[in-house]
Structure 1
Amino acid sequence: MTNALKDKIFESLTSILPIALIVMGLSIILTPLETGTFVLFIVGVFLLIVGLGSFMLGADMSMLVIGEKIGSTITHSRKIWLIALISFVIGIIVTIAEPDLQILANQVSAVNNYLFIVTVAVGVGLFLMIAMLRIVFRVRLNILLIVFYTLAFILCIAFVPKDFWAVSFDSGGVTTGPMTVPFIMALGVGVASIRGDKHGQDDSFGLVALSSIGPVIAVLILGITFHVSGLEYDMNALHVGAVSDTQGVFMQYMHGFADYAKEVGIALSPILAFFVLFQIVSRSFHKKQLFKIGFGFIYTFVGLVLFLTGANVGFMPVGREIGEALAGLYGGWLLIPVGMLIGYFVVAAEPAVHVLNKQVERMSAGGITSAAMKKGLCIGVSISLGLAMLRIITGINIMWILIPGYVIALVLTFFTPALFTGIAFDSGGVASGAMVSSFVLPMAIGACNVLQGTGDIMTLAFGCVAFVALTPLISIQILGIHYKHKTYRIKRNFLHVEDKILEYEVE
């Protein structure tokens, strides 16, 4: 085991341990778990720690390197048609096998799985193309965000049945998961590096932000086309299987390893094929780099298989049981503080969040630290899950939260430094990943099943992913405004000291 892998596993341990301790505390004090379910969870914690560490190392060695090189190469060619075509193809390739998207598609029974996945993938492809061209033509990010979010809300309110609102906005969150984020973010860094002007760094972020809007609009159009209404949730989608002994636990994980090895293999193969084709055409990497990238793909594959198996086999049934148990206590009101506590820590366990924080710290030359980003995201996601649980208890229409939330987020773009606008809207998509899909969403579904019944799950339980994607937009932009004022004060104090020195020299 290399020192780099040890460091990554230790980092993932500090991220996942708080969630494990919270669940163990709840199982002892408020929500007793069945023995088999608890053993599944303990094994899942171990797999998440090792898997997240391996994934982070693999992403550093392969996905980020490839993405940056492809981004810089196609931009350096100065061929607009090539930039547009490759962006569109990459968007579809990295989305169509995103594990989080597969989970969501399985739960939307009113639409064929493949049709739903292809629709979302085309939405990401089109908007990734728009995002890349935005960097080339130097279009302001906040203008595009205002235009497209306004379009999304008009489609929602005027044309799409309300049963499909939450699913549409959730689709924007789940598509930007552990497969897509490293590659898309690295593309932005690569494209912006060729620009060489003072705003190039600001424009290196924002690709994930626009790629998250594409699926929302695409799925809304799908809802209009198929007149989707009266969606009902199938509770069997959360069924993992009861286990009563260690043999049962072993068999559940063996099935999980087989299933997710196949899924991750399918997800990585198009990216690997695209990389091979790119290398044959461009000869961008020498032999030593190719070996390193190859080992990076292996780490990424192993890490994602372990992580997704642990999350879906170990955490999904625990999330459902905790949600159902809390919903039965004190009218369900305990869901709000527990949801906020889980939200504060769960975001640190998202694989893509570590990629974002590292890219932010690197692109800002340490001016924006990973610790500051982590705190801003934790606060945002904590608030979002509090709102999600409140909506399950009270039945509030999702638009009463989404519309004011996005209005605030879009207004803040006029007061926040451009760099923070891109980071904030990227962070919204990044925060809503595998852990939210496999732990938080099942918890919301279990709670909604007890409090409101199966018929309201699609409108009330779904939407928590959308809230997780919303609140970081506000919290990170507020962080940006604070950073702007702090920088201004430091600069003003420096100029004041400089003036004093000049006065002293004159005297």
Structure 2
Amino acid sequence: MKPLLAFWHTLRHSFNNLLPIILVVGVFQALVIRQVPDGLVGMVIGLGIVVFGVAIFLQGLELGIFPVGKNLSNSFARRGSLPLLMIFGFSLGFAAVIAEPALIAVAEQAESISEGRINAFTLRLLVAFSVGLVVALGVVRTLLGQPLHWYMIIGYLLVVTVTFFAPEEIVGLAYDSGGVTTNIVTVPLIAALGIGLATSIKGRNALAHGFGLVALAVMVPMIAVQFYGIVVYTLFPSDPGLVNAAGGMAQVKDVDTAVQTNAGSYMLGMLKDLALMLRDVLPIIAVILFFQYAVIRKKLPYLQRTVIGFSMVIIGLYAFVVGLKLGLFPVGTSMAEQLIELDNLLFVYLFAFCIGFATTMAEPALIAIGEQAEEAANGKLAGSHIRLLVAGGVAIGITIGVHRIITGDSIHYYIMGGYALVILLTLLAPKFIVPLAFDLGGVTTSEVTVPLVTALGIGLATQIEGRNVLIDGFGLIAFASIFPIVTVLLYAIIMEHFNPAKGASS
């Protein structure tokens, strides 16, 4: 009975995560667009599959992967072996990201729109390897008690420098790839590792030293993917015009059609896709089993529950990917098409702001991080205030990103300007808030928000004449990650200015 109640709670939690999107889309359809979108039944079914898939996936994490991962982290922390902790951190970061649903979705969209020049699996491997290295580095930082702000300042100076030289086809995708690494699997695992280490080491502060791993996991993939783009587009140039807006749009439609046919009509296709999903999740299962049996050399506790949990992760992940292609991608592209046809750009900006704010306020990872931050700061930070600041930042960021697509401006200047502002604020802000601020920039994009925002960007780029889908369609997730950092740092600077004693005591 208890497992059923737990699943029902998780199902409601998953639906509540999707509810803000439904409300915003419903209000705009009823009051602004005033028409029923094409393929409404398919969208509703897809959204239902997303809710069900995420619920199964989260329940599987709670039953199988999280307990084993937490047990491994505690065991390695007690041993105090730095090389072992670094190897475990790398393996955990790599395995969690390679199975990340949002990264899978973005990588497949990028491969489709680029007509194969960007390889989806190569992109995922590159991002996962980057995150693995970052988590290993973050473990060292926590153990040594080094401040995060110099890591972030130097890192983002490098990010901005690489952006200046990167081809425009890869910049938006690179920043989106960094934004989606911290999501449904990665945030709980990585955040728990950092906070657990900080609380177990004497002289470390959970707020100053426990947070920051998520922030590093966002930053480094941006650099790696941009270097990948330099290799693909500069060292191995292809025929000009290979990827254009019309071709990109056709590819997206072909993908959606193929998914609907494959998922809805052919059992063999479903079994094949399920096998591929098993391949995607296999790395994290392999890492956990290897460290459990080969390093700690203890049997898995509650083996049956763990096996059931792993199975639920695979099934839930498969349902999620099918559902987002049936539901969330069409919703995003349909809304973009309908709003552009209104010939009133104010509604486009308003929709972008509302969808950014509403989805972020319901983001489970943000709620969890806010509660952890409030507890770590002994009540000096309010979790509800953090959520409002971050949601406002996401809303502003997505609105600015939509403006860039509409005007056709180069993403280079927006991104470089945004992170230049972040670097300046990092130097001015009280140092206790810096790790949390950067972590909050990484947890703003949920497993539901990412596909919708990605589809909105691609939809706008296909509907506006003269836009290139690969160049202009990606990048909205990046804006959703930058501006929450800005709002949180600004808030801390203002609060310290008006109440310096409280800021110093934090």
User: TM-score per shorter chain, which class?
Assistant: 0.7 to 0.9
The reply on whether 1:71 has 2:83 as its aligned counterpart is: no
1:138-171 per-residue CA deviation (whole Å, 9 max, x = no partner) reads: 22111011111111111221x3222322122121
1:174-229 per-residue CA deviation (whole Å, 9 max, x = no partner) reads: 22222222222222122223213242442111111111112111112222333446
Q: Do the aligned partners of residues 388 and 6 (structure 1) sit closer, same or farther apart at CA in structure 2, a change above 3 Å counting?
A: same
Q: CA deviation at 1:378?
A: 1.4
Q: Do the aligned partners of residues 67 and 404 (structure 1) sit closer, same or farther apart at CA in structure 2, a change above 3 Å counting?
A: farther
Matches of 1:300 and 1:464, distance apart in 2 = 28
Matches of 2:262 and 2:281, distance apart in 1 = 28
Counterpart among 86, 89, 114 of residue 87 in structure 1: 89
Q: CA deviation at 1:387?
A: 0.5
Residue of structure 1 equivalent to 2:475: 463
Residue of structure 2 equivalent to 1:179: 185
Look up the equivalent residue of 1:465 and give its one-letter code. I
Name structure 1 gaps, 5 residues minimum.
Answer: 493-507
Matches of 1:421 and 1:444, distance apart in 2 = 30
Look up the equivalent residue of 1:235 and give its one-letter code. M
Matches of 2:471 and 2:80, distance apart in 1 = 46
Q: Do the aligned partners of residues 161 and 48 (structure 1) sit closer, same or farther apart at CA in structure 2, a change above 3 Å counting?
A: closer
Residue of structure 1 equivalent to 2:327: 314
Look up the equivalent residue of 1:372 and give its one-letter code. H
* TM-score for both structures, normalised by structure 1: 0.84
Matches of 2:265 and 2:35, distance apart in 1 = 17
1:410-468 per-residue CA deviation (whole Å, 9 max, x = no partner) reads: 23334444443222212222223433432111122112212134x52222221111101
User: Structure 1 residues 467-476 or 335-344, which shifts more?
Assistant: 467-476
Contact 1:40 1:249 in 2 (8 A): no
Q: CA deviation at 1:297?
A: 3.9
3-state SS of paired residue (1:431): coil
Matches of 1:358 and 1:265, distance apart in 2 = 33
The reply on whether 1:15 has 2:22 as its aligned counterpart is: no
Look up the equivalent residue of 1:152 and give its one-letter code. V
Matches of 2:427 and 2:41, distance apart in 1 = 50
Contact 1:256 1:313 in 2 (8 A): no
Contact 2:262 2:270 in 1 (8 A): no
Alignment of 1:152-171 (within 5 A): 152-157=159-164, 159-171=165-177
Residue of structure 1 equivalent to 2:209: 203
3-state SS of paired residue (2:486): helix
Matches of 1:16 and 1:452, distance apart in 2 = 31
Q: Do the aligned partners of residues 241 and 401 (structure 1) sit closer, same or farther apart at CA in structure 2, a change above 3 Å counting?
A: closer
Matches of 2:185 and 2:266, distance apart in 1 = 22
Counterpart among 436, 439, 451 of residue 423 in structure 1: 436
Matches of 1:482 and 1:252, distance apart in 2 = 57
Matches of 1:220 and 1:333, distance apart in 2 = 33
Counterpart among 424, 433, 442 of residue 411 in structure 1: 424
Residue of structure 1 equivalent to 2:156: 149
Matches of 2:398 and 2:37, distance apart in 1 = 27
Matches of 1:335 and 1:221, distance apart in 2 = 33
Counterpart among 205, 215, 222 of residue 221 in structure 2: 215
1:80-125 per-residue CA deviation (whole Å, 9 max, x = no partner) reads: 3223323223222222232222222221432233332222222222
Residue of structure 2 equivalent to 1:26: 28
* TM-score for both structures, normalised by structure 2: 0.84
Matches of 1:368 and 1:2, distance apart in 2 = 35
Counterpart among 190, 195, 199 of residue 196 in structure 2: 190
Alignment of 1:271-420 (within 5 A): 271-280=284-293, 281-282=295-296, 287-288=301-302, 293-294=306-307, 296-298=309-311, 300-330=313-343, 332-348=345-361, 350=363, 352-361=365-374, 363-364=376-377, 368-420=381-433
Q: CA deviation at 1:295?
A: 5.1
Residue of structure 2 equivalent to 1:442: 455
Look up the equivalent residue of 2:160 and give its one-letter code. F
Q: Do the aligned partners of residues 259 and 139 (structure 1) sit closer, same or farther apart at CA in structure 2, a change above 3 Å counting?
A: farther
Counterpart among 41, 44, 68 of residue 43 in structure 2: 41
Matches of 1:2 and 1:484, distance apart in 2 = 47
3-state SS of paired residue (2:393): helix
Identity %: 27
Q: CA deviation at 1:486?
A: 8.8
Counterpart among 222, 246, 252 of residue 238 in structure 1: 252
Contact 2:98 2:283 in 1 (8 A): no
Name structure 2 gaps, 5 residues minimum.
Answer: none
Q: Computing the radius of gyration over CA atoms, which structure comes out larger, 1 or 2? A: 1
Contact 1:94 1:271 in 2 (8 A): yes
Q: Do the aligned partners of residues 248 and 262 (structure 1) sit closer, same or farther apart at CA in structure 2, a change above 3 Å counting?
A: closer
Matches of 1:411 and 1:185, distance apart in 2 = 26
User: Structure 1 residues 162-171 or 67-76, which shifts more?
Assistant: 67-76
Look up the equivalent residue of 1:126 and give its one-letter code. L
The reply on whether 1:128 has 2:135 as its aligned counterpart is: yes
Matches of 2:377 and 2:451, distance apart in 1 = 32
Q: CA deviation at 1:251?
A: 1.9
Residue of structure 1 equivalent to 2:126: 119
How many pairs does the alignment contain?
487
Contact 2:102 2:450 in 1 (8 A): yes
Look up the equivalent residue of 2:296 and give its one-letter code. S
Q: CA deviation at 1:261?
A: 4.3
**Alignment root-mean-square deviation, CA:** 3.5
Q: Do the aligned partners of residues 374 and 55 (structure 1) sit closer, same or farther apart at CA in structure 2, a change above 3 Å counting?
A: farther
Q: Do the aligned partners of residues 173 and 12 (structure 1) sit closer, same or farther apart at CA in structure 2, a change above 3 Å counting?
A: same
Look up the equivalent residue of 2:278 and give its one-letter code. G
Q: CA deviation at 1:45?
A: 3.5
Matches of 2:477 and 2:271, distance apart in 1 = 27
Look up the equivalent residue of 1:125 and give its one-letter code. G
User: Structure 1 residues 339-348 or 10-19, which shifts more?
Assistant: 10-19
Matches of 2:427 and 2:306, distance apart in 1 = 40
Matches of 2:458 and 2:348, distance apart in 1 = 12
Matches of 1:291 and 1:373, distance apart in 2 = 39
Contact 2:328 2:451 in 1 (8 A): yes
Q: Do the aligned partners of residues 412 and 490 (structure 1) sit closer, same or farther apart at CA in structure 2, a change above 3 Å counting?
A: closer
Contact 1:127 1:211 in 2 (8 A): yes
Contact 1:31 1:325 in 2 (8 A): yes
